[in-house]
Structure 1
Amino acid sequence: MLIKSVFIILLVGLFCQTSYAKDNCPTRKPVICYWASWAVYRPGQGAHKIENIDPSYCTHIIYTFAGIDMDGKLTSLDNHNDIVNGGYKKIVALKESNPCLKVMLAIGGWNEGSEKYSLLAETEESRKKFAEDVSRLMINYGFDGFDVDWEYPTQRGGIPADKENFVALLRALKERLKPRNRILSIAVSASVAVSKQAYDIEAICREIDFVSLMGYDMQATNATSIHSPLKLESSDPDDRETLDQIVYYYKSQGCPTQKIILGVPAYGRSFTLQNPQNNHVGAAVLGVGREGTFTREAGFLGYNEICDLKRTRSDWRNEYLERNAAVYGSINKLWVSYDDPKTIVAKAQYVLEENLGGMMIWSIDTDDFKGRCGQSAYPLLQAINKGLGNQLPSSFSHVDF
């Protein structure tokens, strides 16, 4: 009898400890971390696996991407990586080391296009069927939420009705996910021009928990330019789009400020200069820059690739633009605009000043995740948390589930 009583007391104590741990997560501004699942295939030091993720830096981690087939059925885009190799299960298991972490699955992305999503959103039957698929997958793998990255309604093969149908799709997802306490979010273009055509902003913000503004890839194509400008520099043309403008537009359209998440890049956009001596913003170019060793995409360099160049080349030159909250660097004919810890902190300060909901980063696998260029790993993620004033827990290992 005594042994039984002690056992019950121990169980109650463990329950109370567990409940306390779950209900007393540190108060932090949301840091939404996208992870590109294809990063596992990058060569050498650029390969990024789930085991490389430090879950203490993020409040939310979003696994990218799932997709849909032509029948509107939710599907894995890489069955070997996601299912056979256990990608979905491994990413969700990160909650064991950080019980406060929310792990989500994203659908869509640029390469998925828009036409299939336009068809999916067109009828009530297809929307409800899709929402049921999503709900079942959330439960099956233990995801905490679902992120919709349709690029973009009404465009790239879409139809005008997409603007209204997108709201209806989000409403169908919300009806299935909310009763089971799942998060629903979206990622949207940071272009005001695109947003006016694609989104009924007040309506979509009613249906979702947060909206991530994809604050990057805003560069010109015919000359060097900053791809993630916060505000206008005095030398910028008046029609230059900035992050400040898209934030103001979302506010003006009735989206609650706390639902707006400002996205920042962990990569740069590069060009090949016509003349290495003319290396300022607006300089003439021959085209996009050469591909990086790890990411292997022309015109794109991960922050880890950029800081490798800075570390190994004494002739690398940086220039900071204070109002853009951006930096550009050049070496010979290579020119690249990007964010570093200094500019990330400046953007985090803007988030606090504007009382936005938090920050998002695309994507953690191109941060300096091995600490090759500094004293510690993930300098951009650290800068986000520092700028937002987030206190990082020293360890979650004491929490016992």
Structure 2
Amino acid sequence: MNTSKNSICVLKKLNFDPQLSFLTCLRNLLTLSSLLFRQVCLFLLIIICSWDLVNAASKKIVCYYTNWAQYRTGIGRYTPDDIQPGLCTHIIFAFAKVAQDPETKEYTQLLNFEWNDLAMYKKVTALKSPGVKVLLAVGGWTHGVWLFNQMASKKTTRKTFIKNAIAFLRKHNFDGLDYDWEYPKGDSKEKFAALVQETRKFFEEEGQNQNKERLLVSAAIAPLLDVIDDGYDIPLLAENLDFINVMAYDLHSHRHLSHHSPMDKQRETIKHLQSLGAPASKLILGIATYGRSNTLSGSSLHGMGDVVTGAGKPGVFTKQGGILAYYEVCTYRKDSDWQEKVHPTQQVPYGWLGYQWVGFDDVTSVGRKANYICTEQLGGVMIWTLDFDDFTGGTCGEGKYPLVRAAKDVLSKPSCFEETEAGGKLWNLDFINVMAYDLHSHRHLSHHSPMDKQRETIKHLQSLGAPASKLILGIATYGRSYTMSGSSLHGMGDVVTGAGKPGVFTKQGGILAFYEVCTYRKDSDWQEEVHPTQQVPYGWLGYQWVGFDDVTSVGGKANYICTEQLGGVMIWTLDFDDFTGGSCGEGKYPLVRAAKDVLSKPSCSEETEDGEKL
């Protein structure tokens, strides 16, 4: 019996259809990549599709980018440069349009809306990574239904549109298409269902014929029950869409004070969709990063149901009556005369200042909704939109993108994805790579892979039923860096001005490969400490600070793996280690070898998998 610990090296992402089950993904991956791995890895001999495994088990964070936010002024102006890499699992570019073919006069073209969309496409799709997909949305509220009806009225025009859409998506490097038909009704219900069904069919055929990863197809749907019943063939849509974005907001009255995204109505919508045949794993709950505002009819008439005189005043930056971006709401909240309550059954905040009233979501209510997503095992969260959150971090005092991060923090917890999409336990997997890093703050100096938090994660997974022998502790071969706010402010918890400078070779702010850290360590002005409870090193040079793992801390984590009889170590990634051996003076792959040296000792494998002594 093989009793040694596994060392798992994640070399690259291999693409698989996301609809594959976990075990199928693992089986296919091991079959396809074993020869390659034997050639590349000197000591270990299992490779896993790490990102696909995590994405399959974790929740989607679907974020809409709007191409008109570029026209706002001041801190409200938003461009692709403001999108934080890795924040979302899916970015949807809103919007493109259905257009008329100048030759046939039929509405079969997919075209850009804005004059500079093509340049913006390049910037947004440049954010694609192993864990991030970018889709293009067609439609939207101002697009209207007429163009969709013209395109979807006949099978021939639907087919031509889909073929043109495939060419457009491939040309501009998108991963899929999101339908935002607001809203089909009557005979449009059948047209929309046919359009989605045929889109999925042609996307599958194109992927197979061209030997490419299949394009994704999703849709944004209305939250009102009567609109759902009149416009959507839910069983057919659920069968063919990769996921369904439920626009669970704008549920307010225009005559009386009411919240536009109350949790009780959102639950009602989700239950209704499930009763019609939509699987929970495909339902993405929409959360709005804006509030809906009203003008009160009296200074004391601020309770739910009170009559209003109309929409609230336009925001300074959004400039639209009745809507306030979250960062504009935060300005109200800072006023000493602001009053605020949380509705007991709707579980969302609202507040008023003078005659201005607004219902909105904050970090607490978004976290509550994210917990609901976990409890009901929904597919994830949809954010409308990135540009309404406090994306600069300069208004609300909660860091950049506080609402998106509030959702992500909850949805990323192991307890949230205990169940697989098929309803089985994650513990049925052959092994589980625990990404026990990137546990840092973005506003204060903190280490991204402290041992105390790693132990806490492992204990939590075991409390949920995970066998120690299947848990593979992740160790990062890179450090997370910051720019300090003062030369003496280098202690844990001190405020930072932002991410550290990009590495010479990795060229990404906030990240340094271990071999780049070694360059810092050789500088005579470098200062370094080991945190007493976190048991990991960190150091600073001038205003640059980095927390990282070295040979000593990796050895300590490997000893922890042995003591707790975990299944082994996962290395993210080989290319961040000093693989040439030319920078750190510790030979090739010093971090990987530090782990392997400990895990290969007979004392580490004292127990067999069956618990018997060797």
User: How would you bin the TM-score normalised by the shorter chain?
Assistant: 0.7 to 0.9
- Report the Cα distance in structure 1 between the residues aligned to 2:175 and 2:343, rounded to whole angstroms: 38
1:165 and 2:198 equivalent?
no
- Report the Cα distance in structure 1 between the residues aligned to 2:336 and 2:412, rounded to whole angstroms: 34
Task: Indicate if the aligned counterparts of 1:266 and 1:339 stay in contact, CA closer than 8 A.
Answer: yes
- Report the Cα distance in structure 2 between the residues aligned to 1:144 and 1:273, rounded to whole angstroms: 45
Alpha-carbon deviation of 1:115?
1.1
> For residue 316 of structure 2, what is the aligned residue in structure 1?
293
Q: More displaced, 136-145 or 332-341?
A: 136-145
Extract structure 1 runs of 4+ deviating beyond 4 A: 16-27, 390-393, 395-400
Question: Which of 98, 101, 108 lines up with 1:68 in the alignment?
Answer: 98
* Bigger proportion of residues as helix: 1
Amino acid at match of 2:292: R
Task: Indicate if the aligned counterparts of 1:325 and 1:347 stay in contact, CA closer than 8 A.
Answer: no
1:176 and 2:202 equivalent?
yes
For 1:55, what is the secondary structure of its paired residue? coil
> For residue 4 of structure 1, what is the aligned residue in structure 2?
none
After superposition, the Cα gap between the structure-2 partners of 1:78 and 1:224, relative to the gap in structure 1 and judged at 3 Å, is same
Task: Indicate if the aligned counterparts of 1:272 and 1:287 stay in contact, CA closer than 8 A.
Answer: yes
Alpha-carbon deviation of 1:309?
2.1
Amino acid at match of 1:72: T
Alignment of 1:227-238 (within 5 A): 227-231=260-264
* Identical-residue share of aligned pairs (%): 34
Alpha-carbon deviation of 1:317?
1.2
Amino acid at match of 2:245: S
Alpha-carbon deviation of 1:130?
0.6
Amino acid at match of 2:387: D
> For residue 388 of structure 1, what is the aligned residue in structure 2?
411
Deviations 1:69-92 (A, max 9, x none): 242311111132x12xx1001100
Task: Indicate if the aligned counterparts of 1:344 and 1:387 stay in contact, CA closer than 8 A.
Answer: no
- Report the Cα distance in structure 1 between the residues aligned to 2:180 and 2:120, rounded to whole angstroms: 20
After superposition, the Cα gap between the structure-2 partners of 1:134 and 1:389, relative to the gap in structure 1 and judged at 3 Å, is same
1:148 and 2:170 equivalent?
no
Deviations 1:297-325 (A, max 9, x none): 110101011112222x1111111124312
Alignment of 1:12-91 (within 5 A): 13=40, 23=52, 25=54, 27-70=57-100, 71-80=107-116, 82-83=117-118, 86-91=119-124
- Report the Cα distance in structure 2 between the residues aligned to 1:212 and 1:274, rounded to whole angstroms: 35
- Report the Cα distance in structure 2 between the residues aligned to 1:348 and 1:271, rounded to whole angstroms: 27
1:244 and 2:267 equivalent?
yes
After superposition, the Cα gap between the structure-2 partners of 1:151 and 1:276, relative to the gap in structure 1 and judged at 3 Å, is same
Question: Which of 232, 238, 254 lines up with 1:221 in the alignment?
Answer: 254
Compare CA radii of gyration and give the structure with the larger one.
Answer: 2
After superposition, the Cα gap between the structure-2 partners of 1:356 and 1:374, relative to the gap in structure 1 and judged at 3 Å, is same
- Report the Cα distance in structure 2 between the residues aligned to 1:178 and 1:258, rounded to whole angstroms: 21
- Report the Cα distance in structure 1 between the residues aligned to 2:342 and 2:99, rounded to whole angstroms: 44
> For residue 501 of structure 2, what is the aligned residue in structure 1?
none
> For residue 157 of structure 1, what is the aligned residue in structure 2?
none
1:340 and 2:362 equivalent?
yes
- Report the Cα distance in structure 2 between the residues aligned to 1:286 and 1:78, rounded to whole angstroms: 35
Task: Indicate if the aligned counterparts of 1:29 and 1:390 stay in contact, CA closer than 8 A.
Answer: no
Amino acid at match of 2:233: D
Task: Indicate if the aligned counterparts of 1:184 and 1:208 stay in contact, CA closer than 8 A.
Answer: yes
Deviations 1:154-183 (A, max 9, x none): 2xxxxx221111111011211222342111
- Report the Cα distance in structure 2 between the residues aligned to 1:192 and 1:55, rounded to whole angstroms: 36
After superposition, the Cα gap between the structure-2 partners of 1:22 and 1:384, relative to the gap in structure 1 and judged at 3 Å, is closer
Question: Which of 108, 121, 129 lines up with 2:139 in the alignment?
Answer: 108
Deviations 1:98-133 (A, max 9, x none): 431011110111000111101111101110011011
Deviations 1:135-158 (A, max 9, x none): 11121111111100000112xxxx
> For residue 496 of structure 2, what is the aligned residue in structure 1?
none
Q: How many residues align?
A: 371
> For residue 274 of structure 1, what is the aligned residue in structure 2?
297
Task: Indicate if the aligned counterparts of 1:72 and 1:116 stay in contact, CA closer than 8 A.
Answer: no
- Report the Cα distance in structure 1 between the residues aligned to 2:371 and 2:238, rounded to whole angstroms: 24
For 1:359, what is the secondary structure of its paired residue? strand
Alpha-carbon deviation of 1:43?
0.6
After superposition, the Cα gap between the structure-2 partners of 1:38 and 1:19, relative to the gap in structure 1 and judged at 3 Å, is farther
> For residue 166 of structure 2, what is the aligned residue in structure 1?
135
For 2:94, what is the secondary structure of its paired residue? strand
- Report the Cα distance in structure 2 between the residues aligned to 1:257 and 1:23, rounded to whole angstroms: 20
Task: Indicate if the aligned counterparts of 1:149 and 1:186 stay in contact, CA closer than 8 A.
Answer: yes
- Report the Cα distance in structure 2 between the residues aligned to 1:18 and 1:271, rounded to whole angstroms: 56
Q: More displaced, 71-80 or 19-28?
A: 19-28
